[in-house]
Structure 1
């Protein structure tokens, strides 16, 4: 092929394959170094956070009312049994993500309830006997799977309950062969600028995608991505190296540009909250326990889904489908001005967001996305916050400012913000249909003016 054709094909390969490389690179990091605030853990074992995020948690946009749990599964030696404790109605979710970044199963109140249970997670093509005692079977599309857990937590006083759940959340390897201790190795002699293609070549062979995707990836034969055995990139000629390098840069640019495109609220008024409830709709083939396969949750164009999948991998690893949670963020007020702690703001929720689990608002510094310490030691506010003051009509006005409001009602609904630029993030867990179809729209953040506060009544 001509160099320009190789470059174009390499760009397509990046869009197609970057989710696999990103996902498995994250798996490898979790095994060896840890992930964010979580310590490293071997295959088929959970790593648990010590608690919700605090200002000392240097992880961008970490939740202040959820406790993370994370396990990397290797099913190459056979099935794994997962024990889930009874959470007594409290929210949690376990999200299963395959090697290509597809969320293919969920456990939790929406999908399976909050009772105790055992689940058998089986590798592709498994045909063994299912034990009678399990609640169900989760068919994994790839032999390596990430289990992403989030457990609701109402603050430090709630951590004993959460720790008890962590101890009961267990994995047991049931296979008749030893599982891997690491990912398939790539060749060390590959030049650094071709490392992406080498990782894609090796991991694409070990973790094949769905059949329709395999037909699509056959077109990458001229790039050497389907070569077996010795890597074709160890002795690649300068012309091929240049063409692949240009293609890699072009593919990255395509994904970056797509990731920067405004989200769903782009055409709304100034300060409109941005949401991406359909960022995970790229999974077209493996829809297991707890997933929805209706047309509104699947991208109709398979090739278009590759770019969405690449953007999802670039924007936020392990985000859930919109029907499990919707995240909304903004950086401007209702007049289009950047949010800063030098001003006071209000968010008038009339009515509050319709959810079947809970909603919460957290504020992070900008552009870093970190929690900033405040004297009140308060970092999240939501429908589980005790002592909120509601309006007579059921509305709720949240107050965002660096200083505590003097009015007692406003102080009850106060969320401290950093002194400088900040970004609020609203999390809607199990959002109602009005959120998903756009009939409920979060109001913009308003800069507070003078005048008396509206009459309020105390609520819960």
Structure 2
């Protein structure tokens, strides 16, 4: 079978984009530019944050977080620790596998092996907007395995034989993030064997067709410090948008962005901004950050907006750029609501920020009221400053449902966890989730959540402070 080739277009590196001394058209007034910059910052931040991970995992071969080149799989055969810094709020219950997909020349085929029925696994498919455009694995395709074709926006071929499903991405570059449940430390060898069964094959090779030409090389710009916090973000955004064809629902917003020089594949040199333009863009970025801070305080921390609202398809998010920004800021690459519920512990039961230098805390689940999951649940601790896992003498970064046999139940059958910096004492250490000596947050992940999570029937217990 021959592969129908996609339309090709030239992609150029960032150095070429900024070699001109002038910006692309900047026609907005300062007042207009500030408002547009706010919107563009919220829109572009997730895309640029995603680029940081792309670069460290698939481009920078000498870096500590490199996983594999494009269209090859990189497996992590151990759980995440505080030494892993590639992205914030990582999950340490499910060893990851990583595939950055370049779909410009042709689709790729992801092959999954059969997995035992009691083990959760998934492949989260994420486009360059950080939208979860589909899933493979336990919930959607089952544990029987199969061959799944991932195609970019320009491919128009027919579904080949032996392909179980075709999945389309809005962007030519996409991310496949695998999670394989780890039952215990002794289970690592079983997880490694499953990971060895994951494979990635270009469609031409899958079909035995050698006529497909490789896509042109890409000049990947090196990330720079603070690139997501200043007008530098917009030059990386222009570069990334060249891999993501414009969507009809974003016609008007992209037209507004063009008036401050934001346009796919066009030059954006922050050094070419005059003082008034730079101040307008910086003020707009500050406005975006302020809107998020208020949103987090009044909506996220109070659980009026859940993680399920922040992650998902374009249809689910409805182009809500504040929501997409919030998801990327607090825990990029979070799962969609049907796959997992994420419940954050950012404040205590009195609404005060969680800080283990000021308080010890308890978290109590009533008898029969543990998190309702069809797969499993896990509570993970993060440093409030770095958003990474917390180093501690027990090397314990989470407490999950697989650990229940080792936890001590209360006399009434409930479960009390001790969330604090210092040990609560040897008799309580089995239930201790170590916190940093300062600000922290916890994330309760419920994989394949039962309906009572979404409908509110199950109530999330709150952190209760205990004076030091």
TM-score, normalised with respect to structure 1: 0.79
- The match for 2:314 is 283
2:464 matched residue in structure 1 = 446
User: Distance in 1 between the 2:233 and 2:361 partners?
Assistant: 47
Which residue matches 1:23?
50
- Of the three residues 288, 291, 300, the one matched with 1:258 is 291
Aligned-residue offset at 1:36: 9.6
Corresponding residue to 2:250 among 197, 208, 213: 213
For these two proteins, the number of residue pairs brought into alignment is 419
Q: Give the equivalent residue in structure 1 for 2:218.
A: 182
Q: Separation in 2 of the partners of 1:6 and 1:377?
A: 48
Q: Give secondary structure in 1 for the equivalent of 2:256.
A: helix
Preserved contact between residue 78 and residue 95 of structure 2 (Cα < 8 Å) = yes
Residues 244/149 of structure 1: CA separation in 2 closer, same or farther (3 Å cut): farther
**Aligned-residue offset at 1:354:** 1.0
Name the TM-score, length of structure 2 as normaliser. Answer: 0.77
Give the counterpart of 1:352 among 360, 370, 377: 370
Give the structure 2 partner of residue 164 of structure 1: 193
Gaps of 5+ in 2: 1-26, 205-211, 223-227
Mapped partners of 1:265, 1:10: distance in 2: 23
Counterpart in the other structure of 1:81: 109
Determine the C-alpha separation between the residues in 2 that align with 1:134 and 1:340.
Answer: 52
Q: Is the 8 A contact 1:52 1:155 kept in 2?
A: no
- Higher RCO (Cα < 8 Å, 6 or more apart): 2
List alignment gaps of at least 5 residues for structure 1.
187-191, 285-296, 450-460
The change in CA–CA distance for 1:126 and 1:8 in structure 2 (over 3 A counts) is same
Cα distance in 2 for partners of 1:381, 1:77 equals 44
Task: Name which of 106, 116, 122 aligns with 1:93.
Answer: 122
User: Counterpart in 2 of 1:248?
Assistant: 281
Structure 2 contact 108–200 (Cα < 8 Å) conserved? yes
Deviation at 1:244, TM superposition (A): 3.8
State the partner residue of 2:340. Answer: 325
1:203-227 Cα shifts (integer Å, max 9, x gaps) = 3344213222134312334334448
- Per the alignment, in what secondary structure is the counterpart of residue 308 of structure 2? coil
C-alpha distance in structure 1 between counterparts of 2:37 and 2:363, whole Å: 49
Q: Is the CA contact (8 Å cut-off) linking 2:67 and 2:75 kept in structure 1?
A: no
Aligned position for 1:385: 403
8 Å CA contact retained: 1:97, 1:146: yes
1:98-137 equivalences in 2 (<5 Å) = 98-137=127-166
1:457 alignment partner in structure 2: none
User: For 1:146, what is the secondary structure of its paired residue?
Assistant: strand
Match of 1:454 in 2: none
Q: Distance in 2 between matches of 1:332 and 1:7?
A: 32
Please, what is the CA RMSD of the aligned residues?
3.5
CA contact (8 A) 1:355 1:430 kept: yes
**Which whole-Å CA distance do the structure 2 matches of 1:205 and 1:262 have between them?**
31
Query: What's the counterpart of residue 44 of structure 1?
Result: 71
Q: CA distance change for structure 1 residues 417 and 9 in 2, over 3 Å: closer, same or farther?
A: closer
Report if aligned partners of 2:310, 2:317 keep a CA contact under 8 Å in 1: no
| Counterpart for residue 453 of structure 1 | none
Distance 1:343 1:33 in 2: 41
Tell me whether 428-437 or 249-258 shows the greater mean CA deviation.
249-258
Q: 1:55 to 1:318 in 2, by over 3 A?
A: closer
